Structure 1
Amino acid sequence: MDRRIRAITADAAIQITAVETTGMVERARNIHKTLPLATAALGRTLTITSIMGSQLKVDDGSVTVQVRGDGPLGTIVCVSDSEGYARGYLQNPAVDLPLRADGKLNVGAGVGYGQLMVIKDIGLKEPVSGMVNLVNGEIAEDVTRYFAESEQIPSACALGVLVNTDQSVRQAGGYLVQLMPGARDTDIDQLERNIQKAGAMTTMLDHGMTLEEIVGAVLEGFTVQFLDEAEIGYRCNCSESKVTRALISLGQQELCDMADEEKPAEITCQFCDKVYSFSPEELRKLAVNAKKK
């Protein structure tokens, strides 16, 4: 079971959200048939999107994270609801690159340079969005820059995906630590030492550490109050009614042209690869509805 926990220091100066997303990332790998490099890039993005979604203050809100790099992986798009259930895809799931000198997957080279955009739907007339240039395409550092520049919140982000030799996901997870107003320089120094000492997120998970223990390591020396925990996972909210509305939005002429081909129109969801099929007769009925609109 994938989990999320949230905690805060007793003086409310530091807050942290930590997640284990192994199941979520493995589900994405199976849907999109990703090779290890793409699994890591998509998995990291799914993980932080889930964390950011769970931070929303509205029940029916959503967060979309788009990583638009010039590397061979292409654009990555992930969406999370306010419970932390996320879904995502990337343009080129079969990209493979040589490992870095340290033996790790070269996500930075796969993503390349470009922009990271965050779009939050929090029930306002228009979604709230922010965009920053990518630091190195490794995702965690790029997210840190986003929070610093777009939301003016000093943050530290750790994201990781560990892949087995059979390409399945062995461990995946991450945490986001954020400094609140009132954080002292001594707190920041202590936090930086703790993060350095704790090491990589996937290493901690692979050593059997629980999320509570990971939070304890990152916030060592602070009095920690655990706020809540929740189950998270990969979840797509596509439906036939949504696909139908999208088809109607194409307009009467486009639907008539599709129907005149006298073969079913198949629409595939980008997030879960579910295929929705519409017969020529169904397309003609939708064309009538489109004309009424």
Structure 2
Amino acid sequence: MNDYIVRATAADGQVRAFAATTKELVEAAREHHNTSPVATAALGRLLTAGAMMGSMMKNDTDMLTLQVRGDGPLGGITVTADSKGDVKGYVNHPDVMLPPKNGKLDVGGAVGIGLLQVIKDMGLKEPYSGQTILVSSEIAEDLTYYFANSEQVPSSVGLGVLMDKDNTVACAGGFIIQMMPFAKEETISQIEENLKNITSVTDHLKKGKTPEQILEILLGNLGLEITSTMPTKFYCNCSKERVEKAVISVGKKEIQDMIDDGQDIEVKCHFCNTAYKYSVEELKDILKRCKR
């Protein structure tokens, strides 16, 4: 089953909801970055959230960035997504290993205490930026807190990544339920009751439940209406030309030093780990175009 995002409403528009299955894109991220199980789980949760939150944006050029910066061994996680379901990301220290906590991967321990930042670039003069503390460092609860505090939208976020014994991704996905300002108390109470039926996202995905079926559990008794579905994937738009801008940014002196060394250089894209080689001749061309 390919990855996709479902968008829905319920209770006559009082609620909007998103759910996704993201096994393939999280596995692609694991392969690109060679992440440890706990790093895969942390990055996979944020990628899943990023894909759903990206799908909330209206315009093709809108971009979303999620950054988690904690004092744990992972260092930090960065994810960017667009409105078309394309998402990419990386973790600062992909090889972190931690013992399990309560029989589960210790994402909270790997992330540590810190901040969650959400940046939305919607083509305005200044991008929107919201920041909150990490309340649990497990990603889903932190986003729930962010929506309530920074965007004043009461929400419930569920995210999960389950690893196989060979350290590949067995299943991954999540949901975001949001209350509109005119949501009635009885609607909110019913959703709170329904949420008790979702003990863990991965439990349901492991049983073969689809995003539609997960939303049915959460909102089926509130007049669930699926409005659209869209594919989602791990996608990086890097190229040799784009990465060249990073080489130019180091400045003339450093580029001249590289040329004097007489060795080809290799530059890796942060987001997908693709390596780009530049020969001494190419570095000389870059130096000519360098302004400083």
Task: Give the TM-score normalised by the residue count of structure 1.
Answer: 0.96
Deviations along 1:174-195, one digit per CA (max 9) or x if unpaired, are: 0000000111111111101111
Deviations along 1:245-270, one digit per CA (max 9) or x if unpaired, are: 22223332222122111111211111
Contact preservation (8 Å) 2:11, 2:187: no
Q: d(CA) in 1 for partners of 2:158 and 2:217? A: 13
Task: Show the counterpart of 2:16.
Answer: 15
Q: Percent identity?
A: 45
Aligned residue identity for 2:89: G
Give the drift of 1:220: 2.9
**Secondary structure, aligned partner of 2:195:** helix
Deviations along 1:116-171, one digit per CA (max 9) or x if unpaired, are: 00111111122211110000100000001111111111100000001111111001
Give the drift of 1:199: 2.3
Aligned residue identity for 2:122: I
Q: d(CA) in 2 for partners of 1:50 and 1:186? A: 30
Contact preservation (8 Å) 1:157, 1:176: yes
Task: Show the counterpart of 2:270.
Answer: 270
- Structure 1 runs not aligned, ≥5 long: none
Alignment of 1:225-240 (within 5 A): 225-240=225-240
Task: Show the counterpart of 2:38.
Answer: 37
Give the drift of 1:10: 4.5
Give the drift of 1:228: 0.5
Give the drift of 1:83: 1.1
How many residues get paired? 291
Task: Show the counterpart of 1:84.
Answer: 85
Q: d(CA) in 2 for partners of 1:100 and 1:5? A: 32
For the aligned residues, what is the CA RMSD?
A: 1.2
Deviations along 1:184-231, one digit per CA (max 9) or x if unpaired, are: 111111101111113211111111111111111010311111110011
Q: d(CA) in 1 for partners of 2:281 and 2:85? A: 39
Whether 2:109 is the aligned partner of 1:93: answer no
Aligned residue identity for 1:171: C
**Secondary structure, aligned partner of 2:97:** coil
Alignment of 1:119-198 (within 5 A): 119-198=119-198
Aligned residue identity for 1:178: Q
Deviations along 1:37-90, one digit per CA (max 9) or x if unpaired, are: 111101001100111111111111111111001111111011111112111111
Aligned residue identity for 1:163: M
After superposing the two structures, state which structure 1 stretch, 274-283 or 240-249, moved more: 240-249
Task: Show the counterpart of 2:218.
Answer: 218
Q: d(CA) in 2 for partners of 1:93 and 1:267? A: 18
Whether 2:61 is the aligned partner of 1:60: answer yes
Whether 2:202 is the aligned partner of 1:202: answer yes
**Secondary structure, aligned partner of 2:220:** coil
